[in-house]
Amino acid sequence: MIEVERLTINDIAREAGVSITAVSFALNNRPGISRSTRERILEIAHQKGWVPHPLAQALSRARAEAIGYVIARSRESYVSERFFFDFLLGLESQLTAAGLSLVLQTCTTMDQELEIYRKWSKERRVDGVVITDPVSQDPRARLLEELNLPGVFVGEQVEGFPSLVTNEFGLIATLATHLKMCGATSVTYVGGNEALLHTKRRCEALQDYGNESGINFGSVICANSTENEGLSSTLSLLSPLEGLPAIIYDNEVLAVGGVKACLKLGLTIGKQVLLASCEDSPICRVTSPAITAVSRDPSLYAVVAANLLTEYLAGKPARSYTCDVSSLIPRESSATSPGTAT
């Protein structure tokens, strides 16, 4: 005989093949799920002898009507990066339209980020969270499961969670192909954090492209995405100068450091060395010379992520969505070289 007190909504969700949120909606007679799903969940709960705990039932009625987002980076590695500004604007706008508030907090380490989720869950501060900068075997996924705290992952598909997947292979192939057409004899990727999965994906993508195209390739990983890291990495790559090297930077902040390094070495950018950024921003346009970049819309990523999470909170199955690479914008840092396509 089943011991009723040991039966949890996790057990019912597993049996019904739905999310924990959907089970909660059904058991508490709340809207947001289909009639057939509600009936299936209630039938399973009845068969298993489900008896709700009074305190848990009371707490389940309390909704924070808020979504949390934690930026876990050193301050200098994100304050100048356009991605986070645009992402926050898109996230706040979409959540407001859905009647939800955004709770934002910053920290510098993964351990601190995990502790924030524990605190939010204990205090019932948020109904779900948005996760960026995914890493291998992400500990945040395991913790969210333990806390029964819904979340959406941006940048990588994570089993059991709604996910927004970015096409890092397509992004690198787009930039590397352009640089090769501009006459590059080698292409190196300069990333900002080796623990991040998007850094790993971009390094793998460049290796695949190099193997297929025959062009020399390499990668340099910085401690942080700062201007000084971009400068020092570029100095090491271009000393000595060989052939026509091209460098792809993880973001515009690292790329600005690269421009400074080239000027310090007395190199003509666009002729003696080619530079490009994986992220576009006004910085890329006003820097002299202007920096070639891939134009993507972080605010659109945020809108999609918010929609995926609110769908999941409404009881729909977790789904994954892949964003395609946006347009390449050639500028003087690469497009003035011999062989550039017009």
Whether 336 contacts 271, CB under 8 Å: yes
pLDDT tens-digit map of 320-340: 999 876 789 999 999 754 444
**pLDDT band, very low/low/confident/very high, at 6 (cuts 50, 70, 90):** low
Contacts of 49-57 with CB under 8 Å at 24 or more apart are: 49/2, 49/4, 49/7, 50/4, 50/7, 50/12, 51/4, 51/5, 52/27, 53/5, 57/28
- 194 and 233 share a domain? yes
- Are residues 151 and 78 part of one domain? yes
Is pLDDT of 258 > 90?
Answer: yes
Residue 54 pLDDT > 60: no
Same domain, 215 and 245: yes
Residue 22 is predicted with a pLDDT of 79
CATH number of the domain bearing residue 162: 3.40.50.2300
342 domain residue, yes or no = no
Domain with 265 in it = 168-295+328-335
Do 302 and 162 fall into the same domain?
yes
Number of structural domains found in the chain: 3
What lies within 8 Å, CB to CB, of 112 at 6+ separation is 72
In a domain, 100, yes or no: yes
- Domain at 50, CATH number: 1.10.260.40
Q: Which of 61-70, 187-196, 264-273 has the highest mean pLDDT?
A: 264-273
* CB contact at 8 A, 329 and 285: no
Residues 161 and 202 placed together within one structural domain of the fold: no
289: in domain: yes
Co-location of 181 and 205 in the same domain: yes
Residue 189 contacts residue 248 (beta carbons within 8 Å): yes
Residues 118 and 43 in one domain: no
Question: What is the mean predicted confidence (pLDDT) over 146-168?
Answer: 92
248 and 181 both lie in a single domain: yes
Dump pLDDT digits (tens) for 89-138. 999 999 999 899 999 999 999 999 999 999 999 999 999 999 999 998 89
pLDDT of 62 strictly over 80? no
Question: From CA 100, how far away is CA 92, in angstroms rounded?
Answer: 9
Q: How confident is the model at residue 58 (pLDDT cuts 50, 70, 90)?
A: very low
pLDDT of 77: 67
- Tell me: pLDDT of 31 over 80: no
Same domain for 306 and 239, yes or no, is no
108 and 195 share a domain? Answer: no
Cα end-to-end distance, the chain, whole Å: 75
- pLDDT score of 87: 93
Q: 25 pLDDT band (50/70/90 cuts)?
A: confident
Indicate whether 340 belongs to any domain. Answer: no
Q: Residue 186 has what pLDDT? A: 95
% of the chain surpassing 70 pLDDT: 90
